[in-house]
Amino acid sequence: MAKKLRTNSDWSAATPMLPAAGPRRLALYRSLRGLIEGGQLAPGDKLPTTRDIASRFSISRGAAVAAYDMLVADGFAEARVGAGTFVAMNVPQVMLHGGNTAAHPVAGESASERIVPRQDEPPLPGTLGCSTADAATLRVFRMLMNRHLTNPSARHFQYNDPAGSHALRVEVARYLQAARGVVCTPDQVIMTAGTQQALDLTVRALLTPGDQVWIEDPCYAAARELFVASGLQVVPVPVDREGIVVDAGRGLASRASAVYVTPSHQYPLGVTLSMTRRLALINWAREAGAYIIEDDYDSEFRFAGPPLSALQGIDDAGRVIYVGTFSKTLLPGFRFGYLVVPEALRARALTIRRLADRFPSTLAEDALTEFLRDGHFSAHVKRARRRVRAARDALVEALSSSRLMVTSPEQGLHLLAELPDDADDVALARQAMDCGFGTKALSPLYAAGTRRRGLVIGFAGFAPDALSEAARRFVQTL
């Protein structure tokens, strides 16, 4: 039996090494992982308690907990309720040339002579685009996937409808009608591999090179890049506290073919498009014969008051194309989004989908259908909303003592920390990363006009303590 690692002051034979400065959470994670990979900590060894680690290295207990959580998530450790944290019995192996494996490097073997499977670094607290892991949700999905693998439907063995299964589209349409006021039939719903594919289908079905498209300024960079790469003439339209300034858009390109907006929680400024602006935008689209591409990417996460109705639900002229995703609510790796298109565009959008990607995964579709139908999704969103709100509050509190101007957002999964106009937000974003805090500079997200300075910070997918600690480390360097 492997000798257990002592958790009192005498376990220094396998003491992790931490640098004097920098992100302690990541340093502790890497050091402990190195001890495990190198064999100093053997499978089954008990790790020191997080309280002992925190005391010994004068770090917060939250940092120690976060490091242990990463070890567990990456398969290097196992948490046993009531017993503590142990080195995993089957740790990720080092792959040698020829296909053999070893728990640690072979004596005399150089680093260049072995191939180590790459373990992706966990995202830094504050990184955008992360979702909230939920044990109950993962357990339900595992059960549903196992059920469909054990008794597979015949449709898994043939080509599927390019729009996605009818049963799933029924559930998505029902959900959107109840939660967002979207007016649609299941036939108007097209399942996609996330928001980006939905936008790509929309551009190819609706627009031709040279067409003018309004975009919010600042804007979601991946959407802007897609429009430019498609040969469209991008027209940046300023955003103020009420959202996109429709009158400014009219003055810049009154006969544009489309506008791309994020009305529920504008990315990256975080404002909500006012009802006055919503109606003005719809009126312009009717007059110009233009389409509104509504990206409702994180509308499920509203923390105060009822959300405004989706643009699609208040448009009676078929001018709105609605884009949504399960990436923000469930997990990006699930790769499910949806597109709600006017009937006039459906046939062309489906043709493009069929030629480009044939059809969505039937196995995952069936699991998601049951997840929606049986109420699991609504329960998951409620749990995720509570966790995200706690993380948001911890982040705002940690940033409150700095020179950053921070407002606690009432919706969404990110906030904006504003800076003076003469600040270098790009340099500060790099500085934050060096401190183990993931942020994105605001100014590069502008396409034209006056560029405000700030940091865009995500708070979904991180424990409040880990997020708060990373933010405080950064604040101390300002």
What gap in Å lies between CA 367 and CA 336, rounded to an integer? 12
| pLDDT given at position 395 | 94
| Per-residue burial over 328-345, b = 16 or more CB atoms within 10 Å of its CB, e = otherwise | bbbbeebbbbbbbbbeeb
CATH of domain 388-477: 3.90.1150.10
Determine the longest span between alpha carbons in the chain, in angstroms. 78
| pLDDT given at position 346 | 92
What gap in Å lies between CA 259 and CA 235, rounded to an integer? 9
Domain with CATH 3.90.1150.10 in the chain: 388-477
* pLDDT tens for each residue of the chain, 478 residues long: 444 444 433 444 455 656 555 566 777 888 888 888 877 788 888 888 888 888 877 788 888 888 888 888 778 888 888 888 999 887 765 433 333 343 333 333 333 333 333 446 788 999 998 888 788 888 998 899 888 888 888 888 888 889 899 999 999 999 999 988 999 999 999 999 889 999 999 999 999 999 999 999 999 999 999 999 999 999 999 999 999 999 999 999 999 999 999 999 999 999 999 999 999 999 999 999 999 999 998 888 888 777 778 999 999 889 999 999 988 888 888 889 999 999 989 999 999 999 988 888 888 888 899 999 999 999 998 999 999 999 999 999 999 888 889 988 888 899 999 998 888 999 999 999 999 999 999 999 999 877 899 999 999 989 999 999 999 999 998 8
The domain made up of 12-115 is a member of CATH 2.40.50.140? no
Domain with CATH 1.10.10.10 in the chain: 12-115
Domain with CATH 3.40.640.10 in the chain: 138-377
| pLDDT given at position 324 | 92
CATH topology classification for 138-377: Aspartate Aminotransferase; domain 2 (3.40.640)
